[in-house]
Amino acid sequence: MCQNSYYDAVVNFSTKKNDGITYDEMISDGLCVFNKIPGFISASLFLKSSNKIDYYLKDSTCIDHEVVQTIFNELFNNGEIAKSINDKEISGFDENIYNNQHNFILILPLIIQSGIAGLIILVIDKKDSDFERLKDLCKIHSNYFVLLLMNYDLYSELENLKMTDSKIVHYSKDIVQSTKELKKILDSIQVGILIIDKTSNQIIDVNKAASKLFGLGKYELIGTLVQEHFVYNDEGKNHITHNSSEELLLKKNDGTFIPIIKTDALISVANEEYTIKSFIDITERKKMEEALHTAHIELEHRVEERTLELSEANKSLQNEITDRIKAEKDLLKIYWAVHQSPAAVIITDLNGNIEYVNPKFSEMTGYKYQEVINQNPKILKSGEMNSEEYKNIWDTLLDGREWRGEYRNRKKDGTLYWVSSSISPVRSDNRDVTHYLSVQEDITERKHFLEELIITKQQAEKSEKLKSSLLANMSHEIRTPLIGILGYSQILMNEIHETDLLNMVNDIYSSGNRLLKSLNNVLFLSHIENISIEIELTKVNVVEELERCILENNKFAMEKETSLELNINKKDLYVEVEKDLFNHAIGNLIDNALKYTAKGSVLVIADYALHNGKNWVIIKVQDTGIGIAKDDQKKIFEAFRQVSEGYSRNFEGCGLGLTITQKIVDIFRGEISIESEPTKGSTFSIWLPLIS
């Protein structure tokens, strides 16, 4: 009955039990399996008698029944049995009980349908055995043993079985058959199944699929710890769970790993809890997943690359379109600029044949666009330009330079016209000359105008000469007799005592004087216009000059009932002037002020002023005379213009005084202004730049 190894014994036992053996045989065989465990001394089965606390020895192996019964009694009496039953655990090994220091005694309660059906008492050699492993093996086997006993419904039908009730035996056989079928089913399933003892985590049964996946025989797996066979992927970092399932790696016998999906289920059999682990190999699925993942990544990558390529292509296309639109717009702009140019534009090929002319060309020459295309610009030739000049144009162009010049062309109707022309080479991107461009402006009118201008200038110069000789003649021919008249009338004034005659001579003298004054003014104006560029300015103290002017005009003031005063706070006020001209200008203003003030006062003021960021000396000649209306204030500076003009005027003078004064102030780079109100008086101000 006893086999060579524990596993063989288990195999033998498990095959035999289904072969219609008796319960006694089964028990005997079951106990015999213990016999194969290393260090084992004895195994005995005590069954509980119904309705009693007593246990009777059913079978034993290796030690005779009496010894076994003695052991049981001792254990029972010292409470070990009770303790083990109450704890429902294997316990009670006490080295003193069996008087043998080297043995363990294991008490294994047989728990069937929540009740204690009996006890297996094992005696094990402490010295020879790996007790922990031995204990586990014993427990696995005893559980299996119990399972079988339960299948035979040992507990409830034990008595009946004794009576060999054929019906029950038959029923039990059915159960055994069912168990066998169940095992067949489990083995036929392609899912790996492990039955694990929940407490010890040891495998107690496996199906064929599991054994195949592990690459281990069924009995190589039974008894081993379940955790030895599985590892978590990535040490559990990316551990995947699906509801109750989880993905992990199964460690094969050859050391390789295969991915699996595992599901755990708990079952409870005879108050013992078991874990059913079912798992399937997902290597292929994983491979496919990986391939799918790789393909997906590759696809994404390619899509990304393609998208990038497309976006780049789109961008450069956009840029190209933008550039092209811009270039087209620019081209259009240039075309319209050329088309609408106020100058005639001619574009020829390198042989000088016309490829384009703008509307202005047609307007200028009378030739229509179609008439000149492919023609040579020679058609415009007036025949006035010699071959040397033509050669010069071509030499310049062939040298890559621009030619500019003026010449006469002939219109379609034969009319000659002047053009100012520029002819230049047109270069392509690679700097090659592809065309010639000629821009021509009709300057016929300008030429005529210039000619007229030259003639006018010549005439003016002639007139100027005439004027100069007229003035010279006037100066000599009028002034000489006038001086004679004035001299003789003065002599006569001293010689004649008759009042009537004296009055006549006085009139001759004053009229002559007035004529001389006017003549002098005319000559002075002409003189000042001629010499204005040559006049040399010097630094002059205005204060001193004004004092002199007052003195000179005092006589005239005294003749009238008008006072003439000078009001200056400063000692020095320097300006750059020509002394005589300065005195002439100031003299004119004082003379006018006195002349147009019948009765009142004339005040000459000089001061310093800052105006428009510049330092000025202002000389004011203020009178309380007749004043000048706003409308007349401008015209009085024009030559020969007066407020009262014509034969009915009340005042002497030829209207040149202010014109001369204005010219003198201009020469001094100064300004003259007027403030006046009729009947209230006038103030003439001369502004001259102050110098230090």
| Interaction site with ligand ADP (CB under 6 A) | 588, 592-593, 596, 623, 625-626, 628, 636, 642-644, 653-659, 682
Using CA atoms, how far residue 219 sits from 137, 184, 215, 384, 598, in Å, is 12, 17, 12, 128, 156
Quote the least distance from Cβ 632 to ligand ADP, whole Å.
Answer: 7
Neighbouring-strand partners of residue 562:
600
Quote the least distance from Cβ 640 to ligand ADP, whole Å.
Answer: 8
Backbone φ and ψ of 216, nearest 5°: -130, 150
Nearer to ligand ADP, 278 or 642 (CB): 642
Quote the least distance from Cβ 674 to ligand ADP, whole Å.
Answer: 9
The amino acid sitting at 230 is F
- Placement of tokens 């005696």 in the chain: 123
Quote the least distance from Cβ 566 to ligand ADP, whole Å.
Answer: 17
Quote the least distance from Cβ 616 to ligand ADP, whole Å.
Answer: 22
Nearer to ligand ADP, 191 or 654 (CB): 654
Nearer to ligand ADP, 269 or 515 (CB): 515
Quote the least distance from Cβ 680 to ligand ADP, whole Å.
Answer: 11
Nearest to 525 by CA among 666, 685, 687, 682: 666
Residue 110: CB atoms within 10 Å: 23
Nearest to 125 by CA among 62, 219, 70: 62
Backbone φ and ψ of 439, nearest 5°: -115, 125
Do 606 and 568 meet the contact criterion of CB atoms below 8 Å apart? yes
Residue 347 CA, chain-centre distance (Å), reads 45
Quote the least distance from Cβ 620 to ligand ADP, whole Å.
Answer: 12
With DSSP H G I counted as helix, E B as strand and the rest as coil, what are the percentages for the chain, rounded to 5? 50, 25, 25
- Placement of tokens 């890559």 in the chain: 400
Nearer to ligand ADP, 129 or 683 (CB): 683
SS3 of residue 327 by DSSP: helix
The amino acid sitting at 278 is S
Nearer to ligand ADP, 573 or 636 (CB): 636
Nearer to ligand ADP, 271 or 644 (CB): 644
385 phi-psi bin (left φ>0, alpha ψ -120 to 50, beta other): beta
Do 360 and 342 meet the contact criterion of CB atoms below 8 Å apart? yes
Handedness of CA 634, 640, 646, 648 (dihedral sign): positive
Quote the least distance from Cβ 645 to ligand ADP, whole Å.
Answer: 8
Quote the least distance from Cβ 553 to ligand ADP, whole Å.
Answer: 13
Do 278 and 245 meet the contact criterion of CB atoms below 8 Å apart? no
Quote the least distance from Cβ 557 to ligand ADP, whole Å.
Answer: 13
CA separation for the pair 425, 549 (Å, rounded) = 72
Using CA atoms, how far residue 68 sits from 42, 73, 402, 446, in Å, is 8, 9, 136, 152
Quote the least distance from Cβ 366 to ligand ADP, whole Å.
Answer: 57
Query: Which long-range contacts (C-beta less than 8 Å, at least 24 apart) are formed by 249-256?
Result: 250/192, 250/213, 250/214, 250/279, 250/281, 251/214, 252/213, 252/214, 252/215, 253/214, 253/215, 253/216, 253/220, 254/215
Backbone φ and ψ of 155, nearest 5°: -65, -55
Alpha helices in 532-621 (DSSP H): 542-559, 579-595
Neighbouring-strand partners of residue 116:
111
Interior/surface letters 200-225, b for 16+ CB within 10 angstroms, e for the rest: bebbbbbbbbbbebbebebbebbbbe
CA separation for the pair 222, 133 (Å, rounded) = 12
CB-side neighbour CA atoms (13 Å) of 239: 13
Quote the least distance from Cβ 665 to ligand ADP, whole Å.
Answer: 13
Q: How many helices (H) and strands (E) does the chain have?
A: 19, 23
Quote the least distance from Cβ 639 to ligand ADP, whole Å.
Answer: 8
Nearer to ligand ADP, 106 or 628 (CB): 628
Backbone φ and ψ of 2, nearest 5°: -70, 140
Quote the least distance from Cβ 462 to ligand ADP, whole Å.
Answer: 29
Quote the least distance from Cβ 644 to ligand ADP, whole Å.
Answer: 6
Quote the least distance from Cβ 636 to ligand ADP, whole Å.
Answer: 4
SS3 of residue 570 by DSSP: coil
Token reading at 57: 């020895």
Nearer to ligand ADP, 205 or 623 (CB): 623
Nearer to ligand ADP, 485 or 639 (CB): 639
Nearer to ligand ADP, 12 or 682 (CB): 682
Nearer to ligand ADP, 549 or 593 (CB): 593
SS3 of residue 14 by DSSP: helix
Quote the least distance from Cβ 602 to ligand ADP, whole Å.
Answer: 9
Token reading at 186: 């489990």
Which letter does DSSP use for residue 74 in this model? H
Neighbouring-strand partners of residue 11:
none
